[in-house]
Amino acid sequence: MIRSEKSFRNSLRRNDMLLPRSLKGRLLIGVSALIISTSILISGVFAHLYRDSLFRWMIAQSENIAHSIVLEIADKILIDDLLSLQKILDQQVHNNKDIAYIFVYRDETVLANTFSGGFPLGLLAVNQISFGEESQAQLIRSTTGEHFLDIAWPIFEGKGGVLRVGFTDKFYHYQLVKLWIQLAVATTGILALGLALSYLFIKRITKPLNMLTEAATKIGRAEFDITLEIKGEYTEVDQLTRAFNLMINYLKEHILHLERKKQELEHAYAQSKIQAQALERAYHQAQILGEIAQEIGRLQNR
């Protein structure tokens, strides 16, 4: 029990040594922690909202592109011109770097696709839509770990087949990284500005306290000829300064009173010393006169 109490006290001492001893330093650390935590919280909330809005915007843009492709290939589907269909799909992938793949299927049969290494197994079963359904978007992951936004768009309400367009998430991640960099720069700037303003504010607040500390130190050295300035803002510090000035004035008057008493006592002591010396001389003179009288008496008796 004694050892645990000693270790607890030692830990408290170490923690106290790590913290700054001045009030200004502690206030600055507290304000810095508040600014940093608030900035991180606001940045996190803003990033979350931006990520959601960016994802919705990405889905809307992808659906617009898929719709435009459907309008372009609709007549090729009607006349069953698969060669022209393949050229259009290849051209779309070549012109738009965000498109990873395109394929068209009908009745579980792939009519055209842009996969150079062969159509991947299992992709057809993902993000399927039934006859008569509207378009839908789904975030899928490949076997290599890449993520794609897959858009399924029906052609002629599904009668002509379904267009599938896969978009890479590179732009999405690029925008998120760009956002985090901007937030980091903005947070750093806000933190630096906040710390600078906090330092000036804390310096202004603690300046009267530092003056009181210096004045108390001078009083400890018996220097009482000091008067602290009161700005008249009627704050707690001003009230403390006013009380401190009253205390100093009281100490001055009390010290002057003690000095006067000391001088009076010294004067009285000097006077009493002089009187004692006079009494002592008178006593010696009387003693001498008595001895002389005794001698005269003896001479007369002879």
- Supply the pLDDT for residue 199: 83
* Per-residue pLDDT at 10 exceeds 70: no
Positive/negative CA dihedral, 265, 271, 273, 276: negative
Which tokens hold the place of 156? 């002629």
- Supply the pLDDT for residue 1: 45
Positive/negative CA dihedral, 64, 69, 72, 75: negative
Q: What percent of the chain has pLDDT over 90?
A: 16
* Per-residue pLDDT at 257 exceeds 60: yes
Spatial separation of the C-alpha atoms in residues 107 and 159, rounded to whole Å: 9
Q: What is the CA radius of gyration of the chain?
A: 49
Spatial separation of the C-alpha atoms in residues 206 and 200, rounded to whole Å: 10
What is the dotted CATH code of the domain comprising 47-176? 3.30.450.20
- Supply the pLDDT for residue 302: 63
**pLDDT higher at 257 or 70:** 70
DSSP code of 160? Answer: S
Between 1-5, 114-118, 242-246, the lowest mean confidence (pLDDT) is in: 1-5
Query: What are 121-130's contacts with CB under 8 Å, separation 24+?
Result: 123/164, 126/150, 127/152, 127/164, 128/152, 128/162, 129/154, 129/158, 129/162, 130/158
Residue 206's pLDDT band (cuts 50, 70, 90):
confident
Question: pTM for the whole thing?
Answer: 0.54
